[in-house]
Amino acid sequence: MAPRGETRERVLRTAADLFQRQGYHGTGLTQVLAESGAPKGSLYFHFPDGKEQLASESVALSGREVGEALTEAVLAAPDARAGLAAMGDHFARNLRESGFSKGCPVATVALETAAESEAIRASCDDVYAGWQQGIAAALRGWGVPEERAEPLAALVLSSLQGAIMLARVRRDVSVIHRVTAQLADLI
């Protein structure tokens, strides 16, 4: 029998993957348990508030991992053009590797639940705020003045989110690369 922490982590990661691919309403708890191999009683043991808690924590986990990957890519970039390209490359690679079944791990859930679950909405907002702060910090590091960094970070984040959605629908990541190139020209 797996230790409690391992079971919880396995359920959380499985749920994060399913929510990213299928959305909140398209993912059932029975499927999460089946694909994670967790015993039936473990879900409410580890997530007493059920699916809503599982989704909130899944979004936070995915958001943290994507944020770390983006930070690593951006820190290695010498300038805004290279940094934005690295961010776009991250999302484009994930789309291609998943056969376009996985877009942004936050957007899929946020679009479905923001109006109906305060807990999930808050988790999504926290992730987006963290990403935006990271982008703003990178922009400042590349010489963008303080007063422009936050508004430009919001523009970068929202443009990337739209590009990811278009790329997923079109099954073509070139829109991501075009958008990041245009953003670099603006900065």
Note the pLDDT tens digit of each residue in 87-130.
999 999 999 999 999 999 999 999 999 999 999 999 999 999 99
* pLDDT tens, position by position, 125-171: 999 999 999 999 999 999 999 999 999 999 999 999 999 999 999 99
Q: Which CATH architecture has domain 53-186?
A: Orthogonal Bundle (1.10)
pLDDT band for position 4 (cuts 50, 70, 90):
low
* pLDDT tens, position by position, 16-32: 999 999 999 999 999 99
Share of the chain above pLDDT 90, in %: 90
Q: Look at 44 and 174; give whichever has higher pLDDT.
A: 174
pLDDT band for position 1 (cuts 50, 70, 90):
very low
d(CA 10, CA 16): 10
Share of the chain above pLDDT 70, in %: 98
Query: Interior CA angle at 98 toward 10 and 61, to 5°?
Result: 35
The whole-model pTM stands at: 0.92
- Assign 3-class secondary structure to 94-123: HHHHCCCCCCCCCHHHHHHHCCCCHHHHHH
Contacts of 164 (CB under 8 A, 6+ apart): 91, 95, 103, 104, 107, 176
The confidence score (pLDDT) of residue 2 equals 53
